[in-house]
Amino acid sequence: MSSFSLSRLAAMLAKEFLQMRRDRLTLGMIVGVPVMQLFLFGFAINLNPKALPTAISIDDPGTFSNSIVAALENSSYLDVIRETKSPQEARRLLDEGKVLFVVEIPENFSRDIVRGAQPDLVVETDATDPAAGSYALAAINSLATTALRDDLVGPLAARAQGPPPFNVVSHLLYNPESITQYNIIPGLLAVILTMTMVLMTCLSLTRERERGTYENLLAMPATPLEIMIGKITPNIMIGAVQSTIILLVAKFVFNVPMIGSFGLLAVALAFYITANLAVGYTFSTIAQNQLQAMQMTMFFLLPAILLSGFAFPFEGMPVWAQWIGEVLPATHFLRIVRGILLKGNGFGEIWPNLWPLILFMFVAGSFALARFRRTLD
């Protein structure tokens, strides 16, 4: 039995610190990860999202509707991006995810107010993410009493007292019961796939490098494309298995509605998985060992969770964060999955999010191939 030795402990500590100091990437992550998290949580993530995109469809132009539009535009919760006469167009914007709210001013709205008939102001809400719209919806509800205050003067002054001049009727679309799981579980598909696909690919190449087998592989007549496809294909299959498991659990355990086409979902999945594999492959050309591969994966995963609209409503983020989010494949895939499963989106509606995914896949893939070295230097 040897007794505890302070000098041995000192030697041990010195060794550990030396090794830590030499691992530049880890040191970078020690600083980088908390800074990134602070920025994301501190600046980007707003649990009380404002300026949510809204469309107004007006069937009854006039003073009252002007006041309502003005009031909506004044509300910090909403951002009126479209005024239209056609309810169909407004509905399409909602389907495509371009707006979260459609406010419909019905025919004879003014006449009914004047008559004191309390017409309905219909608010259609995209409820796939129940958290996103709740504050905004409350704000719209309060409009009923305030929006027309300045118009109800003179002979109409009586309308300003008593019951509100019109009712706000909200229709929650796509997820009428506001079940959070309906939103989270499709989102998990995006996040879990990103995590495993990037990590597995990144590890499989850095493992070869760490063990020295990479030199042997390179000394044999294998082309970069053969190596890349060989490394990626097993991971595509892992991705397919994972997707199936997640979707089965979503359907049979959480009863997530799945109204869209599975074929379309499979197409989007294929692109999404490949895009993530390309990222993993690019990382693996940078990471020197498996630990660094893990860290780089974390670095990519954090924004994919926090800025994609998975953990927090996308629209609630400041513009710069939305721009970062738009670059991430997870953001687009998330919209596609929610669109297909909850809204029953078809190809036309998911295309605006599918092409960025395909573009990302090609850019990341070319990057991976370009970074691939046939040599050890």
Partner 1 sequence: MSGNLAIDVSGLTKHFGTKIAVDHVDIAVPEGEVWGFLGPNGSGKTTTIRMLCGLLHADEGQGTCLGYDVRTQSEQIKRETGYMTQRFSFWEDLSIRENLDFVARMYELDDRKAKVNSTLDRLGLVKRQNQMAGALSGGWKQRLALAACMLHSPKLLLLDEPTAGVDPKARRDFWEEIHTLSDAGLTVLVSTHYMDEAERCDRIVYIQNGKLIARGTVAEVIAQSKLFTFIVEGEDVRRFVQRLQDEPGVEHAAFFGAALHVTGLDRDALEHALAPYRNESGITVLEAPPSLEDVFIHLQEQAQ
- Window 221 to 240, contacts with partner 1 (CB under 8 A): 221-223
Q: Which is nearer to partner 1, 230 or 318 (CB)?
A: 230
- Window 121 to 180, contacts with partner 1 (CB under 8 A): none
Instruction: State which H helix or E strand residue 350 sits in.
Output: helix 347-371
Q: Which is nearer to partner 1, 92 or 207 (CB)?
A: 207
Mask for 184-223, x = binds partner 1 (CB under 8 A): ---------------------------xxxxxx-xxxxxx
Query: 353: closest CA among 275, 248, 301, 293?
Result: 275
Closest approach, Cβ 55 to partner 1, in A, equals: 58
Q: How far apart are CA 257 and CA 176, in angstroms?
A: 11
Q: Cβ of 87: how many Cβ atoms within 10 Å? A: 17
* C-alpha gyration radius of the chain: 27
Q: How far apart are CA 298 and CA 194, in angstroms?
A: 10
Mask for 318-357, x = binds partner 1 (CB under 8 A): ----------------------------------------
Instruction: State which H helix or E strand residue 115 sits in.
Output: helix 109-115
Unique residue bearing structure tokens 């395909």 = 358
Mask for 69-108, x = binds partner 1 (CB under 8 A): ----------------------------------------
Closest approach, Cβ 227 to partner 1, in A, equals: 10
Closest approach, Cβ 222 to partner 1, in A, equals: 6
Q: Which is nearer to partner 1, 79 or 208 (CB)?
A: 208
Query: 200: closest CA among 281, 300, 285, 304?
Result: 281
Closest approach, Cβ 223 to partner 1, in A, equals: 8
Choose the binding region for partner 1 from 74-82, 160-168, 248-256, 369-377 (rule: CB under 8 A). 369-377
Unique residue bearing structure tokens 């390309």 = 278
Contact 133, 178 (CB under 8 A): no
Q: Which is nearer to partner 1, 149 or 211 (CB)?
A: 211
Instruction: State which H helix or E strand residue 316 sits in.
Output: none
Closest approach, Cβ 20 to partner 1, in A, equals: 22
Q: How far apart are CA 328 and CA 303, in angstroms?
A: 8
Q: Which is nearer to partner 1, 177 or 377 (CB)?
A: 377
Contact between 375 and partner 1 (CB under 8 A)?
yes
Closest approach, Cβ 290 to partner 1, in A, equals: 14
Q: How far apart are CA 278 and CA 280, in angstroms?
A: 5
Residue type, 26: T
Q: Which is nearer to partner 1, 22 or 374 (CB)?
A: 374
- Window 256 to 285, contacts with partner 1 (CB under 8 A): none
Q: Which is nearer to partner 1, 218 or 240 (CB)?
A: 218
Q: How far apart are CA 364 and CA 76, in angstroms?
A: 38
Query: 108: closest CA among 142, 173, 68, 64?
Result: 64
Distance set, CA 375 to CA 225, 230, 266 (Å): 14, 18, 37
Closest approach, Cβ 214 to partner 1, in A, equals: 8
Q: How far apart are CA 333 and CA 279, in angstroms?
A: 15
Closest approach, Cβ 224 to partner 1, in A, equals: 11
Four-point Cα dihedral 340, 343, 346, 352, nearest 10: -80
Q: Which is nearer to partner 1, 98 or 371 (CB)?
A: 371
Closest approach, Cβ 195 to partner 1, in A, equals: 24
Q: How far is residue 276 CA from its own chain's centroid? A: 15
Q: Which is nearer to partner 1, 159 or 231 (CB)?
A: 231
Closest approach, Cβ 41 to partner 1, in A, equals: 40
| Residues near partner 1 (CB under 8 A) | 211-216, 218-223, 374-377
